[in-house]
Amino acid sequence: MKRIVIKFGGTSVGSIEKIVNAAKIVQKRQEEGNEVMVVVSAMSGTTNDLVNKSKKISKNFNKPELDVLMSSGEQVSCSLLAGAIIELGLKARSWMGWQIPILTEGDHASSRILEVKTNEVINFLSEGGIPVIAGFQGITEENRISTIGRGGSDTSALMIAKFFKTDSCEIYTDVEGIYTTDPFINSKAKKIEKISYEEMLEMSSLGAKVMQPSAVQTAMKNNIPVHVRSTFSKLTGTFIVSEDKTDSKKVVTGITYSKNDAKVTLLNVKDKPGVAADIFEPLGKSNINVDMVVQNISSDEKETDITFTVKREDLSKTLKIIENNRVNVDYKKLIHDDKLSKVSIIGAGMIVHPGVTYKMFRALANERINILVISTSEIKISVLIDENVTQKAVKVLHKTFELD
């Protein structure tokens, strides 16, 4: 008998009819001979509504209380789904994060799961029960409710798969799997049958919204097979597996984009040892994530221009920190631009296939798309471009690398 985790996203439990449909999926998977554990998100739109309510009280609503508020959405969907499963004649019950418990650490609203206790839930499973667990939440060592961050139910599901040593994790959503690019901006996007953990981690980090990066990382570290599929279709979805089980002949697996980046440039910085550290240290201490970094040294090697990217929501904070740090970093001018997007090609096949870089750059040049910043790793190349040509860039790259 296999033990599996089934996770339903917010759109999969967005109405009573959809919750009943999800219950029937759980019933079918148990009838196929599986021990089934279920993890649920809040009903679609619920978390946003709760956050908006908190903002009407205060723009700086107390974070521990915000976690209590936001976690209530999963309690509702958890109870409704457990009730729907019981109505089908099966044994089920709901579990909140604190009841298991799921132990967390870190800041409220962005906690990390340390441990998931298993004894009580395993006893319930052994009696033929189906535990329906609220995702996105846990409990701190101070006995306070905590949340894992937006999209955190994916992480909850994979951590439960890890601690309960399940054979696989099935992520049910409103799309039929992982696509070569966003089908909403390119109708020629194709569903990917299999994708490696590494490729999926890059895609989710670079803009693909199907899974949370921390969830993919958990699956990769623990070699947990993941099946992303639609709640509303019987078609096979996408399997996320180890690299040796994927098609290594593919050069590029997918194209992603993100419109949440801003570029910052410090012109004519006095070049000296440690200047980069002086720029980025205060940003790191303020929890600002720096992504792409480019440094150009002048011919006399006395001055340099330093360009980097941050998330758009961090731009004003970043500029303020740099201006306040001028005593440590001497520069002539500070410029910025937030009307940009980051487009990336991802594929494990890039490691063994030469010429991918020039092919990408030539394709963009032929469309007169100017590249502002470049970032690379073994299996991805990212470029920063004007956001107005995002769709054009995605389409031409999708065609260039034969993904249409």
State the CATH number of the domain containing residue 158: 3.40.1160.10
Give the residue carrying structure tokens 């994530």: 289
* Residue 77 and residue 19 in contact, taking contact as beta carbons nearer than 8 Å: yes
Neighbouring-strand partners of residue 148 = none
Between CA 50 and CA 75 the distance in angstroms is 13
pLDDT at 298: 67
pLDDT at 199: 94
- 393 occurs within a structural domain: no
pLDDT tens by residue, 245-299:
887 678 999 999 999 899 999 999 988 889 999 999 999 999 899 999 998 876 6
- 281 occurs within a structural domain: no
Instruction: Label residue 207 left, alpha or beta by phi (over 0 means left) and psi (-120 to 50 means alpha).
Output: left
Between CA 99 and CA 16 the distance in angstroms is 25
| DSSP letter string, 156-220 | HHHHHHHHTT-SEEEEEESSSS-BSS-TTT-TT--B-SEEEHHHHHHHHHTT--SS-HHHHHHHH
pLDDT tens by residue, 351-400:
888 899 999 999 999 999 999 999 999 999 999 999 999 999 999 999 99
- 359 occurs within a structural domain: no
- 73 occurs within a structural domain: yes
- 303 occurs within a structural domain: no
Token pair in block for residue 376: 């690379």
- 254 occurs within a structural domain: no
* Domain, as residue range, for 102: 3-174
- 13 occurs within a structural domain: yes
Task: Please tell me the total count of domains within the chain.
Answer: 1
Weakest-pLDDT range from 21-30, 130-139, 149-158, 360-369: 149-158
- 32 occurs within a structural domain: yes
Between CA 362 and CA 400 the distance in angstroms is 10
Between CA 14 and CA 43 the distance in angstroms is 4
pLDDT tens by residue, 73-124:
999 999 999 999 999 999 999 999 999 999 999 888 889 999 999 999 999 9
